Structure 1
């Protein structure tokens, strides 16, 4: 089940170089050697799946500058949090297509603001079309790694994400356990339901804090920490083929932002047994998110993002989500990985 080398998953595309979730970001990620590209999926008012990190789109589009949509600004409760802005489910696809993407974190990636206002918001079908064209041109199969965003919420407003997702994948020939697709979710119930309707690989996302939102809705007292135990992993393995984990679940950081060590005078980091336990349960382990900027790196690897990759590769992970897929692929191709 494990690959010879970890797969490189372009996190929202090559989002270190282009505004996230745009065809330009996905296309560049493929050119930089990514094995999979990752679209987060939300729905339009007319039930079309589009790629946005959130259904509230004021941070990633120019919607606020469109006077014709000012009346759509509103406040909603999304997964228990109050959010004010503009929401994809209030726009038709035709309206969404009049908007343009912008860099989500311009204070960190000011170079990406050069593309603000130039790039459309893509549909899932447009992303698949891009992948198929690029795979053919480079003679290398590129996979897609879609995430269902806020599935309980979208189900509650009559715009469930899973039926159109499966329909689109099936229509494009993605079938079987070996298809170049991973479907991921932070919630549990929708993955369990998907496992009865498809044999495409499923990924249970696991954060280092909190609990799946459907657990909150259903009154379940378990949290993500319960799911990373051997018994929790065995339960996940009944419906999923992989886990997608926050880096801190494998290599915790201390209160100063440094990686935890085995002792005060010891230079060796202290990883958890999560990779070992997950592999014992038959699950792949994909880790998120790797970024080159110092503000995201542990203190141990400031100015050295390659070192962080080396550490996690040495721990036997099966894939990494990266904003800079070229950094990851260059390291893998160099063959200079260090065993922990």
Structure 2
């Protein structure tokens, strides 16, 4: 109920209209259900590193996901956690505590790969040691318009303008990812926070938005409100059923659940005719899709 009220209040203040896609994709999508590499191929490589993004693309992922936070000096960096402690190794003054309290120079001293080798010795690779936290600009520089991006704006305080949403749009402009490509779904922007998405809609009504859902909050009434501003929803896989997918599609919402890794679960969720899903193992999802010709309606693009 709180989420529904939050959305409703934001909608009353929001402006702009949605724009339909023009039928082209950059680059072309290879499957009816899009393969979203969750933090890159993070089951095989340290999450949110260039190594994980490179591997995801090699495995056939159609979107690579970036979670973005702002550093203390206003640079957007790709990291999932609010704090550095789980995935960073290095000087404690630079590589522990809140990411938002560190400058980019501090963060660049941190080794973002060794933790993966420690945690997953069966998947360890020597080249993961010394991986650095990438800025969003470095990601755009590396891949340009050759890949599709799925960007989550993480919660946090914008202590000084411009907002994270505005900085994201500025970067998209700089790398040619805004004009024309937004209608073709090359960049999807997601958040758990409705006001973040509504700000993005206010700044650019053409940006396709995905409302992320907390567990047990995905229902018909809430989805009806979300359909007023969002291209789609991202529910946890535990909430997903065939009937929920049908309800979402009836409202014109794409559905991209998170996070599905085991082959049996991938087969089950794909069988519900979702429009795509997040996985740490994009190779597994591709194998499932190639082995099972699901009889699904045309996906929402």
- Is contact 1:99–1:120 with CA below 8 Å preserved after alignment? yes
Q: 1:207 — aligned with what? A: 214
Quick one: distance in 2 between partners of 1:55 and 1:113? Answer: 25
2:191·2:212 contact (CA, 8 Å) conserved in 1?
A: yes
Aligned-pair CA distance for 1:12: 0.2
Q: TM-score, normalised by structure 2?
A: 0.80
Deviation sequence 1:218-249 (CA, Å, 0-9, x none): xxxxxxx2xx3323212111111010110111
Per-residue displacement from partner, 1:61-99 (whole Å, max 9, x unpaired)?
114xx15x2xx79xxxxxxxxxxx512222211221111
Instruction: Output aligned runs, 1:236-275, within 5 Å.
Output: 236-250=226-240, 271=241, 273-275=243-245
Structure 2 match to 1:8:
35
Matches within 5 A, 1:79-98: 85-98=96-109
- Judged with a 3 Å threshold, the aligned counterparts in structure 2 of structure 1 residues 52 and 124 are, in CA distance, closer, same or farther, namely same
**1:194 is the counterpart of 2:200:** yes
SS class of match (1:100)? coil
Hey, what's the Cα distance between the residues in 1 that align with 2:143 and 2:98?
Answer: 27
Q: Which has the larger radius of gyration?
A: 1
Match of 1:235 among 215, 225, 242: 225
Return the TM-score normalized by structure 1: 0.71
Map 1:299-314 → 2, pairs under 5 A: 305-314=262-271
Of 141, 154, 171 in structure 1, the residue corresponding to residue 174 of structure 2 is: 171
Give 5+ residue unaligned stretches, structure 2: 1-20, 24-28, 297-301
Q: Secondary structure at the match of 1:290?
A: coil
Q: Deviations over 1:286-329 (max 9, x none)?
A: 011012xxxxxxxxxxxxx3222111111110011010101111
Which moved further from structure 2: 159-168 or 239-248?
159-168
Q: Secondary structure at the match of 1:34?
A: coil
Unaligned regions of 5+ residues in structure 1, if any? 74-84, 136-141, 210-224, 251-270, 292-304
Alignment check: 8 A CA contact 2:113 2:132 kept: no
Give how far 1:189 is off. Answer: 0.9
Equivalent of 1:22, from 36, 40, 49? 49
**Aligned pair in 2 of structure 1 residues 107, 41: CA closer, same or farther (>3 Å)?**
same
The count of aligned residue pairs is 264
The CA deviation at 1:272 is: 5.6
Instruction: Give SS of 2:85's match.
Output: coil
Is contact 2:75–2:135 with CA below 8 Å preserved after alignment? Answer: yes
The CA RMSD measured in Å over matched residues stands at 2.5
Written as runs of structure 1 = structure 2, the 5 A alignment for 1:252-331 is 271=241, 273-291=243-261, 305-331=262-288
Distance change in 2, residues 1:242/1:338 (3 Å): closer
Match of 1:59 in 2: 86
Retained in 1: the 8 A contact 2:68–2:151? yes
* Cα pair 2:37 2:280 within 8 Å, conserved: yes
